[in-house]
Structures are given as structure tokens and as C-alpha cells.
Amino acid sequence: MRGSDRLPVELMLDAAIEALDDAGLTPADLDGICAPPGFTSAEELAVNLGVADLPFSATTAVGGASSVAGIRNAAMAVASGVASTVLVVVGWNGYSWMRPRDGVPTPRHGLAMSSAQDVVTDVMVPQGAVGATQFYAPVANRYRFERGITELDAAAFAMTMRRHAARHPLALMRDKPMSLDGYLASPMLSEPFRMFDCCLETDAAAAVIVTDRARRAERRSTAVSILGAGEGRPNPPDDVAGRADLLNIGLDGAAKRAYAMAGVSPDQLDVVGIYDCFTYIAMLQAESLGIVGHGEAGAAARDGAFDLGGSIPVNTHGGLLSQGHMWGMNHVIEMTRQLRGEAGERQVRDATLSAVTGWGDFGDGTVVILEAQS
């Protein structure tokens, strides 16, 4: 939504309780919490959920990649026996924090510092690069240069996300179709990013439960299995300009490791969630994930490969670009619904295998591979 009058932690508690209920569990079942890198803490979440003793908590500060990193941390804890039921939650007032209103509380703690912080403030801001749009734009322009991706490719990707959003009841852009003319008329912010290349500002929270209890507990919903997960960083992770290869992203290593762990290959995926903070960056990730070859994401978008009914549907909920910005946890939830067969008019037929990527800070990458339970 836009215009929340509640704190991020309140939204997160709502999402946590709904996720527990969906899993047929209660807060008493929780023995782990993966809090987001900002706006709250595992401790604050625990005390508000009545968790009297918390054996496990973990937060990996990789910006937008943190949601999938949290799921990976939770899965490692469950697989190792450190915990059995872990809450992974994110939330923020991504729209309202820039637009303070009288009488509306603001969180006392913002985003946690990430590894990128010193280079941003000391080296990038003095050059006039003050926001994510500017940090990633040189990556996108290099992507255009090396792999021939065009503005029309980006437009096709943005319009694909918008078509998906039209089928999701909670999508911010559900009733706002996008035409090519509309895309081209959207203002240029920082080349090559137009406004419609950029994700939405959103007030929202989302939560997932990672557990080994779902197999034995009576539960409301069908679980999906985590087959593999990966994390990776570009070199150096805290600076874009210093990289020898601007197109080397964290997902390159993360995807390789996740596929190896899962024992699957990209051509087996039925539907995927890609962290679409920006059109070009999402297409670069599609290539890194291997669902299309290098330089092929633009043609794939134009040919409808990422559409419902296409060869590999991407972000059937509309993604960060057209549903809303929930740090990519909305992608995890949508892919879970796809694998459960609960996506309604958005359902990809016989969807059994999916991957979800995360992208954060300066290209840190995460990925989780999910499988339907038969």
C-alpha cells in the first residue's frame, strides 16, 4: 500500500501472524527469527510474538537480497537442527518514510548499515551519485553496451510486469496498464533508467515460515520444499566503479551453488521470481540465472517468454516494478503460491520447480530453489 499510518514493525507482526496461521502454526512453535536489516530486530519481533526464548536468529545485510538470504539462513538452521521453525520477515514504509505526515509515527531505527556504506558516503556521493538509480545505471549501460540490450527491450520487460500485475488483486498497478508510448513518455531519471524502469515505493510487509514441522503438524496449506540456496557477491562488493567486470554480479556464483545443491538445471524451472528493482538489472539477472542466454533477455521479453503462457514466466504477481516493493519477499510468496497451485488466474500450469533471486546493495545476489511437494 501507499500511505501507511503504522510502523514497519506493526506491518511485519501482521505478516508474521498471517504466515504462521497459513502454516497451521503459532508463535509458540517459533525457535528462530530472521529479521530484516532494519526497522526492527529479532528481539523486538520475539517479544511482540510472545517468544520467551529464542535459540536462533540471523540477519544478512545484503539490501534487497536479504529476504532470500534470510530464507537461506533459516533453511541452514533447520537443516542443521539448530532450529525447527523459523520466521523470515521483512517490511518497511518504503513510500511513507520519504513523505512524513503529521500524526504518523516513523521508525526510530532505519536501515542497518551495509558493507557499502563508507564507499557510498565517501566516494560516490561526492561525485553526485546519491541513490540506487544512479549506482546501478552504469551497470545497466554497460549491459546495453556489451550485450546489445535496448530501450525497447526494457520497455517490453516493464510492460510484462504490468500485465502480470493486472491479474493480482493486491498489485499497486493492477488498474494501470502500460503501453509502449506510456513507457517512452515516462521521465528519464538517470540514463538509461526512466521512471517506468524503476520499482515502486511501497509500504508493506511479508513473511515466510521455514520449518521441518509442516510435514508432521496439521496445517492449513501445502508446504513447498527448499531444494537449494545460494549467496554471492561481486568483486569488490562495496563499490561498483572498482570492478574489472561490471556485469559480474553476486547471482553468478549464487546460482551456480544453488543449482549444484538442488541438483537441477535452469531449463527445468517452470516459473521464476526475479528481483526486478530495475528492468535492465532484472534482465541481467535472468541471464545470470540461466533461464535465457547472455544477451537474450531483451528478445525473450519482446517475444513474450516471460509472460504467462511463455516459455519461462517471470514475476507473475507483477514484481517490484508493478506489484510492490516488499524486498523480494513478495516474489517468494508468489512462487510458493504457484507451486501450491493457488495462483488463480495467474497460475502457471503444472508448476513444480521455481527459483527466486534477490539483489541488493551493489549487486549482492541470493537465490533459493523451490519445489512443489507431491
Partner 1 sequence: MTFDPSVHAGFPVQAPGAGGLHAAWYEANAAAGCLTAQQCADCGAWRQPARHRCAACLSPQWAFRPVSSTATITSWTTTHRPFHFGFADVVPYSIVIAEVAEGVRFLLHVRPATAALTGGDPAAIVGTSVAVGVDEFGLPFAVIGSA
Number of residues in contact with partner 1 under rule CB under 8 A: 36
Cell numbers that stand for 289 in this block: 540465472
* Strand bridging mode 353-360 / 271-273: parallel
Q: Is 334 in the site for partner 1 (CB under 8 A)?
A: no
Residues 219-258 that bind partner 1 (CB under 8 A): 239-244, 246
Q: Is 144 in the site for partner 1 (CB under 8 A)?
A: yes
Q: Is 277 in the site for partner 1 (CB under 8 A)?
A: no
Residues 101-130 that bind partner 1 (CB under 8 A): 118-119, 121-130
Q: Which of 57, 96, 134, 357 binds partner 1 (CB under 8 A)?
A: 134
If the CB atoms of residues 139 and 320 are measured against partner 1, the closer one turns out to be 139
Quote the least distance from Cβ 180 to partner 1, whole Å: 18
**What would the x/- binding string for partner 1 be over residues 172 to 211, using CB under 8 A?**
---------------xxxxxxx------------------
| 314: three-class secondary structure by DSSP | strand
Q: Which of 50, 131, 263, 293 binds partner 1 (CB under 8 A)?
A: 131
Q: Where are the beta strands (DSSP E) in the chain?
A: 32-34, 56-57, 85-93, 188-190, 193-194, 203-211, 224-232, 271-273, 353-360, 364-372
Q: Which secondary-structure segment (H or E) carries 135?
A: helix 132-147
Angle formed at CA 270 by CA 290 and CA 154, multiple of 5 degrees: 55
CA pair distance 195, 85, nearest whole angstrom: 40
If the CB atoms of residues 128 and 309 are measured against partner 1, the closer one turns out to be 128
Cell numbers that stand for 105 in this block: 509515527
Torsion sign over Cα 236, 241, 243, 249: positive
If the CB atoms of residues 243 and 331 are measured against partner 1, the closer one turns out to be 243
Q: Which residues bind partner 1 (CB under 8 A)?
A: 118-119, 121-131, 133-134, 137-139, 141-142, 144-145, 187-193, 239-244, 246
